[in-house]
Chain A
C-alpha cells in the first residue's frame, strides 16, 4: 500500500494561506495546519479588550480556514520562547517599524520544520507570494528563509511555485507542479479568481496586517522601552507582559527610569489594574477617571507630574486641585495636584 504524503501548512487564515491550503489539499495530500501564537496579534488584543467598538468579537481566522477546509489545526505558542529575544535583536533587521519579518519567518519556519520531522511529514508550505512584500517576500529573501530555517528544498510556496525553482516534493512527484500557482506581486486579483475557482468564498478583508510590530505607534513604544532600559543600565529585552502593556493605554516617558501608562477605556482600566502589583497604581479619588500605573523609580517631581497627568484625563480636569491616590507596595498616599494643563508638555512626554 502506498503511503499518503503529508504536509505541514503554516496558516494565518488570510486569503493567501487559505488558498495555499486548498491547493495542497486538493492534490490528495494529508495536511496539518499550524498557527503560531506570538502574543503580538492585533485581533487577539481586540478580544482581550472586549471586542470591536460595535460589540462584535473578531473570529479566529486560522481556525475558520482550517474548519472550512476540514484540516487538522495545531496552535504553537511562541510567546514564551526565544521569540521575544529574536524581535529585540533581529539578524536581518527591521522593516518600516518594529517588524523583523525575515527573522520572524526563519524562526517560525524552523519550528515548522521541527513539527514536520515530528509528524513524519514530507514538506512545509506557506501562503507567501513572490514580490508581495517589499522585504520579506523578495526572491532572494524567500531563499534565505528557506535555507536558514533548515527547510532546504522542503519549503513549498504553492501560490508562486511555478515562478520559483522546483522543490523536492515537486521533484519527487509528491506534488504536481502543474497544479500550483504562478502568482506574484501585490495585487489580489489573481487570488480572488483562484478563490472562486476553488469554491472559497469566506476570507477576511486585508487589514494591513495583524501584527503589532508593523504598527507605527506600537513600534515607538517598543523602541522606547528598549532604549530606556539600556539608558538605565539594564539589558535590551522585552518580556511577555511588556507586550500586553505596549498595546494598552497612553504612554508617557517621565524619564529613563519611569514611565506612566494611563487607561483609555473601562476595559483598559481593568487590564491595567491586573498589572498594578509590582508597580505604582494611580487614580483620582472620588472622581471618575482613568486608572494608571507607573513603572520604574520616579523622582518626587516625576510623581507629581504623573499625578497631574492622571488628573488631566479625568472628570476633575477643570478643578484647581484633584486628589490623586498613589498605591504602591501596600502603602497609600494621596497627592493634591493641579491637573497638568500644559498640552505641549504632555505631548512632549507622550511616546
Chain B
C-alpha cells in the first residue's frame, strides 16, 4: 500500500504489545471473529514477526491484509474481515 493511500478507520483496535508469536495472531483471530463481515481491525504489536505473520494468516484464513506499518517501536497491522 502506498503512503498516499488512506488507511481505513478501524472498527476495532487491539493492542498486543509485549506478546510474541503466535499470541498476536491468537488475539487477532478472536477479534476478527467478533467483527461483522467487511469490518476492519487494527492490531498494534511489538513482535517484529507480525510483518511476516499477518499477511500469511490473512492468506490462510482468506481475510484481507490491508497493510502492516512500522509505528515507532511497534507495528500497526490492518485487516479486513472476509465477506461470507
Interface residues of A (CB under 8 A from B): 33, 35, 37, 43-44, 47-48, 50-51, 57-60, 62-64, 66-67, 70-75, 77
Contacts and interface: CB of A to CB of B under 8 A. Distances in A.
A35 B59 contact: no
Contact of B53 (A48, A60, A70): A60
B49 interface: yes
Nearest to A66: B60
A67 B57 contact: yes
A235 B60 CA distance: 43
Interface residues of B, number: 19
Contacts of B59: 67, 70
B49 A37 contact: no
B22 A70 contact: no
B14 interface: no
A73 B32 CA distance: 13
B20 interface: yes
Given A44-B21, A66-B60, A75 B26 contact: yes
Nearest to A45: B20
B44 to A, nearest CB: 17
A70 B56 CA distance: 10
A44 B20 contact: yes
29 contacts: A33-B60, A37-B23, A37-B26, A43-B21, A44-B20, A44-B21, A47-B20, A47-B48, A48-B20, A57-B48, A57-B49, A60-B21, A60-B25, A60-B56, A62-B22, A63-B22, A63-B25, A63-B56, A63-B60, A64-B56, A67-B55, A67-B56, A67-B57, A72-B61, A72-B62, A73-B60, A73-B61, A75-B25, A75-B29
Contacts of A62: 22
Contacts of A72: 60-62
B49 A59 contact: yes
Contacts of B47: 47
